[in-house]
Homo-oligomer: A and B are copies of this chain.
Amino acid sequence: MPDSSSSASARLAAALASLHGQMADRISTASSVREEHSHGEAMNAAFLPEAVIFAESTDDVSAVLSICHDHRVPVVAFGAGTSVEGHVVPPEHAISLDLSRMTDIIQLNAEDLDCRVQAGITRQTLNTEIRASGLFFPVDPGGEATIGGMCATRASGTAAVRYGTMKENVLGLTVVLATGEIIRTGGRVRKSSTGYDLTSLFIGSEGTLGVITEVQLRLHGRPETLSAAVCQFETLDDAILTAMEIIQCGIPINRVELMDSMQMDASIRYSKLEEYQPLTTLFFEFAGASAAVQEQVTATEAVAAANNGLSFAWANTPEERNRLWKARHDAFWAAKAIDPKARVISTDCIVPISRLGELIAGVHQDIEASGLRAPLLGHVGDGNFHTLIITDDTPEGHARAWELDKKIVARALSLDGSCSGEHGVGMGKLDFLETEHGAGTLAVMRALKDTMDPRHILNPGKLLPAGPVYRG
């Protein structure tokens, strides 16, 4: 046990010596590996992790945390590195704990529509491997994220309007606590009223309360019929009213995605969608039994027509649908192609859907005033959207984008919104949490953090700004 007054670098060295003794074959200190583990898809790193450990089991994760706990060495869990808010950026003298080798499907319970997976499997791999069962996991944040990372950030995406987020689709977890102790939360049942909802506490905790190593997931049957359509609008208001009324009417739509005219223009060029105009556009997907889908389509067309929607363009074959959704998922790259040398920074906020028109109108003014280009797109059925700010890849350029982001978040918060619908807090949203939640609520969150990780070895500096701690 080290002297608690020893320096961070001495403690790190002692921890690494101990780790080398136990799992030398799973540790890398190669600079390319360390660089790769120093950042996600946004945020520059101030430090490289001192080592990257490739865990192959829950026991490996437990051993790493136990040693790092003894030596007070920070540990940052790493999955696919698709975070956009700096979740995986290490502090100084830290270790990156990579779970991407933990990709097993531990059990598939097709009769009960659930499965248990290791946290490092990606959602695409999972869906490919269980395809023969007729089931799928619906949460779709776009990127090739790991299930563990999706749990840690409470991810959602285009299908959340129908299937919910990770919160609604995780039944239980295996978690390694700061001390290395392994616990299980939840289970296989659909619902339960037996104690505190620890599963929900770890979902969205961004690696600051424990490291998730296994996940029990709800699965869903592949729908009998899938149908996709595109409808364009002369005005943003008409498109938003259409989305809002679809939700209010209770049409069980599978996806309803918005692109503003600048994003549509970029996507037409990048994804070769030449048959469309650079106008505000809604992408729809309908799913279910065939008569139900037809009924949803008829109702949606009526709502769109009443709000001056242009005619629907249908994508009924799998190829046509894939082309459309690939274009939607490639929106980031389409924005990037507007200026290949620029940096693209994604914002993320959410409001009650009735405030969405007012918010986006204001955001368009902010974008215009900033002099920056920023296409806008979003999961409009949930009230959640992103702007893709295109800016010079320089400190000044980043600062300008950050100023614009701050204005957008402030607008959302003033309209009963939240500063992140799905990307998480990481380091990027720390400054907004007190305004959103209030000081007392943050003090409770800090008390939970101190209880679960009093040595602050688990992803320190993420999710919670420093401040007072609730004492009961």
Residues of A within 8 A of B (CB): 109, 111-114, 153-156, 160, 164-165, 167-168, 177-179, 181-185, 187-198, 200-201, 203-205, 209, 220-221, 223, 244, 247-250, 252, 288-292, 294-296, 299, 350-354, 382-384, 416-425, 429, 432-433, 436-438, 440-442, 444-445, 447-448, 450-455, 463-464, 470-472
**Bound CA span A22–B162, Å:** 49
Contact: B191 with A165, CB < 8 Å?
yes
Pick from B192, B382, B442, B454: contact of A418, CB under 8 Å: B192
Give the docked Cα–Cα distance between A196 and B437 (Å): 11
A168→B289 CA distance, assembly (Å):
25
Instruction: Quote the shortest CB–CB distance from A414 to chain B (angstroms).
Output: 13
On chain B, the residues within 8 Å of A424 by CB distance are: 193-194
Q: Is the CB of A289 within 8 A of B299?
A: yes
Docked-complex contact B195 and A445, CB < 8 angstroms: yes
Contact of A352 among B189, B195, B384, B448 (CB under 8 A): B189
Contact between B178 and A472, CB atoms less than 8 A apart: yes
Do the beta carbons of A191 and B112 come within 8 Å of each other? no
Interface centre among A193, A223, A450 (most CB of B within 10 A): A193
Neighbour of A221 across the interface among B249, B351, B447, CB < 8 A:
B249
What is the minimal beta-carbon distance from A10 to any residue of chain B, in angstroms? 22
A124→B209 CA distance, assembly (Å): 39
Minimum CB–CB distance for A355 against chain B, Å: 8
CB pair B425–A184 under 8 Å, yes or no, is no
Contacts A198-B441, A440-B182; A423 near B193 (Cβ below 8 A): yes
Measured CB to CB, the closest approach of chain B to A184, in angstroms, equals 6
| 24 A-B pairs with C-beta separation under 8 A | A109-B354, A113-B247, A156-B191, A167-B200, A181-B440, A181-B470, A183-B440, A183-B444, A185-B441, A187-B436, A189-B418, A191-B382, A192-B420, A195-B425, A195-B463, A197-B197, A198-B444, A220-B250, A289-B296, A291-B291, A291-B294, A292-B295, A452-B472, A454-B471
Identify A194's interface contact among B156, B416, B419, CB under 8 A: B419
A111 and B383 within 8 A (CB): no
Cβ of A195: which chain B residues have Cβ within 8 Å of it? 204, 425, 433, 437, 442, 445, 463-464
Complex Cα–Cα for A323 and B177 (A):
52
Closest 9 CB pairs of A and B: A200-B200, A292-B292, A221-B250, A192-B418, A111-B354, A112-B352, A183-B440, A291-B291, A154-B193
User: Measured between alpha carbons, how far is A19 from B454 in the docked complex, in Å?
Assistant: 37
New A-B pairs, 18, CB < 8 Å, besides A168-B168, A190-B352, A289-B292: A114-B352, A154-B197, A177-B472, A184-B438, A190-B383, A191-B384, A191-B422, A192-B421, A193-B424, A193-B425, A194-B418, A195-B442, A196-B205, A196-B448, A198-B441, A201-B201, A223-B250, A252-B252
